[in-house]
Each structure stands twice: as structure tokens, then as C-alpha cells.
Amino acid sequence: MSDFYPEDLPVPQDFERHVERDFAFAKIERHINYRLLYNVQLSIRGNIDKLAQDGDPAFLKLQEIVLHLLERARGGLFRPACVWQFFRAQSDGDALNIFDRNGKTVDTFVFPRQRDEERLCLADFAAPVSGGRMDSIAMFACTCGADFVKESARLRGAGKLAESHVLNVLATTCAEAFAETLHAQLRLHWGFGELRENIPARLAGNYRGKRYSFGYPACPALEDQAKLFKLLRPEEIGLRLTENFMMEPEASVSAMVFHNPKAKLFSVK
């Protein structure tokens, strides 16, 4: 697999821990996937552009709620904050060793490997210790804050069930858009990101590298969240882990990011 790792291992601008407590919602809003929001999360059938053009009453009513809540999000109902950091890294079989900027080992993640297909393991996307080259990965945790949780409960108590439901869905969708925004920012720090806006390409995943969240198919061990939390300390921005390693508030995303051009989404099950 000597050709699996790029000749040029990009070096990030720094290995410092970055905390952004007042992340601009305008940056996040550009990455909202509205087709995912309406067609998947809110179960609207059909092309949303055509539904809007045709004046579909059900769609327009739902859209009115979404636009109203987006305006409230811009006004401070969502409080985006994040913490992110690059780490030096090397793979050793199925293990990914994480180092601080001075080369001291700070933790190790051991990932499962596919039993068939390409026999992929997440550690494969970092340069191996046997090659003698030090690689880098990034980790981040981001949240839209907890204020929307109280507001959703208030709306539900006032009998505004549809608005309460849409608010929860919108917060989750915006958290995913936040993750996409951060991922784009991290690629720029590696030196190969898009300098010009190409939001549709980003939403389609047409860029170098991939991000992986614990509990998902390539890294199903949700307990690895605890290691990420130990390294990033996102409690500073209001994030906490439950006893089942779920993040609170719910509208939050954490991930490990690899720059490898051959990185892709896969399942170990």
C-alpha cells in the first residue's frame, strides 16, 4: 500500500488548540443543506424548488416556519461555538497514535477493520510509523448551543408542536452545516482548501479528505468520544458527554478529520 499515502503530507499552520465562542452564523447558514432539511428531516416529498415555484400550500406553510426560525437563529437563538486542533499522527496497523506538537504520545485510537471488501480501517488514512514520516489529523467539536432546547420546550408547552419540531430539526441541520463549515476551514489551514466558494461541491463531498464522527459506520465505538473530549476539552464551550457518550446539547457534532485524498466513507459492519 505504498501508494496509499500522498507524497506531500500537508503541514497545518499550527498545532494550537483553538476556541471560537461566537462563530458567525452567516458562515454556517451558507452550508445548510435544504434538500436534506426538507426532504429527509421534514419528510417533504418532491423537488423543493418546484414545490416552491408551484406554490404548494403544505410546503409553503412549512417553509414559512423554517424561515421564521432561521431569522430567530440569526438573532441569537443559536449560539455557535467550537473548539478544534491539529495533532501529529501516525498509524501502526489498526492503531492511530496521536502526538502533541513536541512529538509526545497523548493518546491512541484503535479502529476496527473491514472483514471483507477492501479491508479498510480508519488508521489506513494516516501515514504509517514504518515509513518514518509524521502525519497530521484534525479534531473538532461544534455546537449550536442549548438555548433552542428551552425554546423548543416552551413552544411545545404553548401547543405550537410543528414549530417546536421544526426548531429541533433545524438546530440539528445547522450543527451539521457548522461541521461542514469547520471542515472547509481546516482544509484551508492544511493549505489545500478551496479559496473560492463552491458550496454545492462541498455539500456533495467533492473535496480532498473526509471527516468521521464516532458512532458512525467507519468508527462505531461511541466511547471513543471520551478520548476526543480529553484532547479538545469542549466543556469550555458548553458541551458534555452523557454516561452513554452522547453529546449534550444534541445540536452538536464532533469529528476526526483526515486529509488523505483516498479517504472515503465506509462501514466496518
What pLDDT sits at residue 171?
A: 97
What pLDDT sits at residue 88?
A: 97
Query: Domain residue spans in the chain?
Result: 2-258
What pLDDT sits at residue 220?
A: 96
Task: With cut-offs at 50, 70 and 90, classify the pLDDT of residue 203.
Answer: low
What pLDDT sits at residue 207?
A: 83
Q: What does the pLDDT look like over 141-182, one tens digit per residue?
A: 999 999 999 999 999 999 999 999 999 999 999 999 999 999
What pLDDT sits at residue 2?
A: 46
Side chain identity at residue 13, one-letter code: Q
Q: What does the pLDDT look like over 220-258, one tens digit per residue?
A: 999 999 999 999 999 999 999 999 999 999 999 999 999
The DSSP string of 235-267 is GGGT-EE-TTS-EESSSEEEEEEE--TT-----
Roughly what angle, to the nearest 10 degrees, separates helices 161-190 and 147-157?
160
- Rounded to an integer, the average pLDDT of 32-43 is 94
> Is the model's pLDDT at 200 over the cut of 80?
no
What pLDDT sits at residue 6?
A: 80
d(CA 48, CA 51): 5
User: Where is average pLDDT lowest: 99-103, 194-198, 265-269?
Assistant: 194-198
Residue pair 98/87 in contact (Cβ under 8 Å)? The answer is yes
> Is the model's pLDDT at 197 over the cut of 60?
no
Q: What does the pLDDT look like over 127-149, one tens digit per residue?
A: 999 989 999 999 999 999 999 99
Residue 217 backbone phi and psi in degrees, to 5: -55, -35
Residue pair 126/212 in contact (Cβ under 8 Å)? The answer is no
What pLDDT sits at residue 206?
A: 73
**Which helix (H) or strand (E) covers residue 108, if one does?**
strand 105-110
Select 2-258's CATH number: 3.50.50.60, 3.10.196.10, 3.40.50.2300, 1.10.3720.10. Answer: 3.10.196.10
The neighbour count for residue 15, using CB atoms within 10 Å, is 16
C-alpha cell at 111: 479502529
